[in-house]
Amino acid sequence: MSARSRGGGGSDKASGGAGRSLEVRVRTARKRSHASTLWLSRQLNDPYVQAARREGYRSRAAFKLIEIDDKHHFLKPGQKVVDLGAAPGGWSQIAAQRIGATEGKGSIVAIDLLEMEPVPGADFMVLDFLDDDAPELLKQRLGGKADVVLSDMAANTVGHQRTDHLRIMALVEAAAQFAAEVLAPGGAFLAKVFQGGAQTELLAELKRDYAKVIHVKPPSSRKDSSELYVLATGFRGRQAPPEAT
């Protein structure tokens, strides 16, 4: 069964198919650092990178959304979806397939700081989500309430763990705030976080606003990566925090 199909094997496709793939060895070039050589070797030998090329997906990240949705089934035909941090377009591709946007059954509004080749069924804007007017521009383009807000955004890192974590959490918190403003009742929010997880205050807010909140690490997320996703489903609307006693 194709990795494009619900319940289909994103991980099966990525396992190398019927044949055994051969490891590609990368020689260290004079002008290439050791770290760059290791990264290139990992990319060339990554079964999900190879599968993404075979399937025509923009990136290996497509399989993360496939695997999460195969298990939790929050993408449905006819929905309105917002894709934050969309470039190069892997998540928009999968969402478009699953909601039927390529057949006019749903719609996707996607944004990123970087340019992105058009994805059939997706309305894309080059936009910094942290700009003051970005949320309002997205709402206008969406033309109504969203059913799903996706965020695969990641802040540029500086190598200082505490600073990097704060930057990452600022993006997640901004995405969660936006989701709470645009989601229809019953909607879902999926966002990238990192181990160390979402901060206590953010998780508490999500648990107030949604029926179910879980952390997910799909099989295609590299084992040596601290990457996780928080999935909140069953949006109930913004709930007031309990009064302090």
Distance separating alpha carbons of residues 209 and 238, to the nearest angstrom: 5
Distance separating alpha carbons of residues 91 and 66, to the nearest angstrom: 9
- Distance of CA 9 to CAs 13, 56, 220, Å? 6, 15, 11
Q: Which among 13, 145, 192, 217 is annotated as catalytic?
A: 192
Active site residue 192: yes
Distance separating alpha carbons of residues 48 and 12, to the nearest angstrom: 10
Tokens read off for 57: 């997906």
Q: Which residues are annotated as a binding site for S-adenosyl-L-methionine?
A: 89, 91, 112, 128, 152
Planar angle of CA 177, 98, 172, nearest 5 degrees? 20
The answer to whether 152 and 227 have CB atoms below 8 angstroms apart is no
Burial 117-132 (b: 16+ CB within 10 A, else e): eebebbbbeebebeee
| Residue linked to tokens 């709470």 | 180
Distance separating alpha carbons of residues 164 and 142, to the nearest angstrom: 31
Distance separating alpha carbons of residues 168 and 61, to the nearest angstrom: 18
Q: Which residues are annotated as a binding site?
A: 89, 91, 112, 128, 152
The answer to whether 207 and 177 have CB atoms below 8 angstroms apart is no
Query: Can you name the residues that pair with 194 across neighbouring β-strands?
Result: 227
Q: What is the identity of the amino acid at 197?
A: G
Enumerate the active-site residues.
192
